[in-house]
Structure 1
Amino acid sequence: MTSSITGSEATSPASDRDDVARRLLDSSETLSYDPAQEVDWDTPLDTNYHGTSPEWSTLYGTAYWKEMTPEQQRELTRQEAASVASTGIWFEMILQQMMLRDFYAKDPTDPSFQWALTEIADECRHSIMFARGAAKLRAPAYRPPRGVIELGRVFKALAFGEAAYAAILVAEEVLDVMQRDWMRDERVVPFVRTVNNIHVVEESRHMKFARQETKERLEKAGPLRKQINSLVVAIASYFIVTSMVNKKVYENAGLDVKRAVREAKNNQHHKSLLRSSCSGLMEFLSSAGLLTKASTWFYKRANLI
């Protein structure tokens, strides 16, 4: 897949892509985890710990949060952690199907093909890890609303090229920033910190590949295609981010659901955290030509800008 240019040495997009894929494969061989062995699944849940850093709770900083007992605060963050994990499973299944479709019948000797299969294997392990983690947090199976699930079916069937990989990048980047905070926070239950650490390490490779694929696919995209796909990515991002915390978490934490939803919706602290976590991502989308006026409207609605 590499090519040479007579007269002066130049690196082709294909060789760049191969180099990235080879480095990611090498990294995967050197540093990967088996959650079944690395995570402490046997120790009973210690309810003296949070499920996320409290500052990442959707109610942190609100009047309601201040009224809650420490036990209620910890229970809420555990339920929120389980909801984020369940949403992660949902999107990882979309991701796997898009990648399988993208690499269907392509050259299996291509390093990018082999990396795609490696990433899919990672995502399978992550989904099992998240599922076991949510169960250990004593949470139900949180799912996005039915309408969002059906939109996901359409997206995974139709999204291609930069639309697919940029949407993958958005989902992974938002979760990455959250989990980097949680894995270092000693207030978070130890097994969740381990889960977060595993996911952060392995997803860093996935994000590298998604950025590379997004840039490569955009090289062949004209202005109209960029406009359309920038909107597709923004809409997908909106539904991913707004589905992360299911409103049922408030009921399962013993809270007044209507009040909790209302205060979470108006929580400026949480909105600020989301915006700061996405600053680097938005810079990348802008440099790639995927941050248009229309797409910005959806990112603002999702509190990513």
Structure 2
Amino acid sequence: MTSTDVPRTAETAEAGRRETAQRLLDSSAMLSYDPATEVDWETPLDKDFHGASPEWSTLYGTSYWAEMSPEQQKELTRQEAASVASTGIWFEMILQQMVLRDFYAKDPTDPAFQWALTEIADECRHSIMFARGAEKLGAPPYRPRRLAVELGRVFKATATGEAAYAAILVAEEVLDVMQRDWMRDERVVPFVRTINNIHVVEESRHMKFAREETKEQLEGAGPVRRRINALVIAIASYFIVSSMVNRDVYKNAGLDTARALREAKANEHHKSMMRSSCAGLMEFLGSCGLLTKPALVFYKRANLI
């Protein structure tokens, strides 16, 4: 290797990063949505529809689900969809702060800088869209547990590099697979399908950027740093996923909370859905050397692997 090889490699990587960011900017300019006008906010909620594909309910496949009336099943999926949306808002606020910190005082003419601001603008619209959607579903404002909120407060202020971008990727990819099912499902209330379609289209660009940033940030990372951040990402992933469905959804759907929690915890169908939805994500993290033994403990606890 000559002394000129390293600079050329660095220049090539930077050129590729700029090219990716420019493609994402071009794609965003061609296909983006305004939820304020794209979503039907005016039509009253039709309770003959589910809020999410029933197969994604935490109780689907349990004896409790079999005992529930169709109306109860639909109400539960509406409450669960609202809870997932509320968790999405929580993490999108974390995401925005991490991305802003990463690009603070950097070159504003860089396409990656401009893409970062575009992504943040997308997330602002998504959070408002999720909030309005949850309200229309007739749900209260669900929030993560206090421990998750406080850990998130620390994470958003300190996470950098691959720890930030891989955690962003986990949150986006887990939600993406669910929403791809929901947006195609005619049993789901139409305005929720529209919300899911908007989110899937725009988040596909965010996931591309998060994958590229994760790989770039890991270039040159030593084994100690890689192991530490692998664990940090896994812990963050556990709290993100375990916060998606708030325990109060069962009470608000008129169910016995204690029984619902027991059956949801033991629901192998839902665990299988989560694992299958994350197969590609786990493969990517493994290719980056981020599936260490300590990290796997948390991914297994979250039923992601």
Q: If the TM-score is normalised by the length of the shorter chain, which range does it land in?
A: over 0.9
Normalised TM-score (structure 1) = 0.97
Residues 212-235 of structure 1 show CA distances to partners (whole Å, capped at 9, x for unaligned) of 000000003111000000000000
Please tell me the residue identity of whatever aligns with 1:76. L
Gaps of 5+ in 1: none
* Backbone CA RMSD of aligned residues: 1.4
Partner residue, 1:51 = 51
Partner residue, 1:146 = 146
Partner residue, 1:137 = 137
Gaps of 5+ in 2: none
Residues 12-32 of structure 1 show CA distances to partners (whole Å, capped at 9, x for unaligned) of 110111010000000000000
Partner residue, 1:281 = 281
Normalised TM-score (structure 2) = 0.97
Residues 185-232 of structure 1 show CA distances to partners (whole Å, capped at 9, x for unaligned) of 000000000000000000000000000000000003111000000000
Shift of 1:142: 0.1
Q: Residues 187-226 of structure 1 correspond to what in structure 2 (within 5 A)?
A: 187-226=187-226
Q: Secondary structure at the match of 1:199?
A: helix
Shift of 1:11: 6.6
Please tell me the residue identity of whatever aligns with 2:75. E
Residues 64-85 of structure 1 show CA distances to partners (whole Å, capped at 9, x for unaligned) of 0000000000000000000000
Please tell me the residue identity of whatever aligns with 1:36. A
Partner residue, 1:61 = 61
Please tell me the residue identity of whatever aligns with 2:59. L
2-structure distance, mates of 1:241, 1:215: 23
The alignment status of 1:95 with 2:95, answered yes or no, reads: yes
2-structure distance, mates of 1:244, 1:207: 19
Partner residue, 2:31 = 31
2-structure distance, mates of 1:211, 1:250: 35
2-structure distance, mates of 1:240, 1:93: 13
Please tell me the residue identity of whatever aligns with 1:110. D
Residues 5-51 of structure 1 show CA distances to partners (whole Å, capped at 9, x for unaligned) of 79x99971101110100000000000000000000000000000000
Partner residue, 1:262 = 262
1-structure distance, mates of 2:281, 2:142: 27
2-structure distance, mates of 1:218, 1:17: 14
2-structure distance, mates of 1:193, 1:200: 10
Partner residue, 1:239 = 239
Partner residue, 1:127 = 127
1-structure distance, mates of 2:27, 2:291: 31
2-structure distance, mates of 1:92, 1:199: 12
Q: Secondary structure at the match of 2:84?
A: helix
2-structure distance, mates of 1:80, 1:35: 21
